Amino acid sequence: MPDSQKLQTYLVGGAVRDKLLGLTVTDRDWVVVGATPEQMIDLGFEPVGKDFPVFINKQSGEEYALARTERKTARGYQGFEFSTSPDITLEDDLERRDLSINAMAEDAEGNIVDPYGGQEDLKAGVIRHVSDAFIEDPVRILRAARFAARLSFSIAPETMALMKEMVGNGEVDALVPERVWAETHKALKTDAPQIYFKILRDCGALARVMPEIDALFGVPQTAKYHPEIDTGVHTLMVMEQAARLTDDTMVRFAALVHDLGKGVTPKDILPSHRGHETAGIPLIKGFCDRLRVPKKYQTLALAVGEYHLHMHKMYELKAATVLKVLEKTRSLMDEKRAQQVATACLADARGRTGFEDREYPQANLFLQFQQAANSVDAGAIAQRISQSDLGNGQSQGEKIQAAIRYARIEQIKKLQSTLITTD
Range 323-346 average pLDDT: 98
Question: What is the domain extent for residue 396?
Answer: 375-422
The verdict on residue 339 lying in a domain is no
Per-residue pLDDT tens digits for 235-275: 999 999 999 999 999 999 999 999 999 999 999 999 999 99
Question: Which pLDDT band holds residue 27 (cuts at 50, 70, 90)?
Answer: confident
Question: Which pLDDT band holds residue 393 (cuts at 50, 70, 90)?
Answer: low
Of 109, 124, 139, the last residue of a domain is 124
Per-residue pLDDT tens digits for 85-120: 788 899 999 998 899 999 999 998 999 999 999 999
Q: pLDDT at position 26, please?
A: 84
The verdict on residue 96 lying in a domain is yes
Lowest mean pLDDT among 210-224, 246-260, 380-394: 380-394
3-state secondary structure labels for all residues of the chain: CCCHHHCEEEEECHHHHHHHCCCCCCCCEEEEECCCHHHHHHCCCEECCCCCCEEECCCCCCEEEECEEEEECCCCCCCEEEEECCCCCHHHHHHCCCEHHHCCEECCCCCEECCCCHHHHHHHCEECECCHHHHHCCHHHHHHHHHHHHHCCEECHHHHHHHHHHHHCCHHHHCCHHHHHHHHHHHHCCCCHHHHHHHHHHHCHHHHHCHHHHCCCCCECCCCCCCCCEHHHHHHHHHHHHHHHCCCHHHHHHHHHCCHHHHHCCHHHCCCCCCHHHHHHHHHHHHHHHHCCCHHHHHHHHHHHHHHHHHHCCCCCCHHHHHHHHHHCCCCCCHHHHHHHHHHHHHHHHCCCCCCCCCCHHHHHHHHHHHHHHCCCHHHHHHHHHCCCCCCCCCHHHHHHHHHHHHHHHHHHHHHHHHHHHC
CATH of the domain at 111: 3.30.460.10
The verdict on residue 197 lying in a domain is no
Q: pLDDT at position 398, please?
A: 86
The rounded mean pLDDT for the chain is: 92
pTM for the whole thing?
A: 0.90
Of 100, 124, 148, the last residue of a domain is 124
Of 124, 143, 176, the last residue of a domain is 124
The verdict on residue 28 lying in a domain is yes
The verdict on residue 14 lying in a domain is yes
The verdict on residue 267 lying in a domain is no
Q: How many structural domains is the chain composed of?
A: 2
The verdict on residue 89 lying in a domain is yes
The verdict on residue 32 lying in a domain is yes
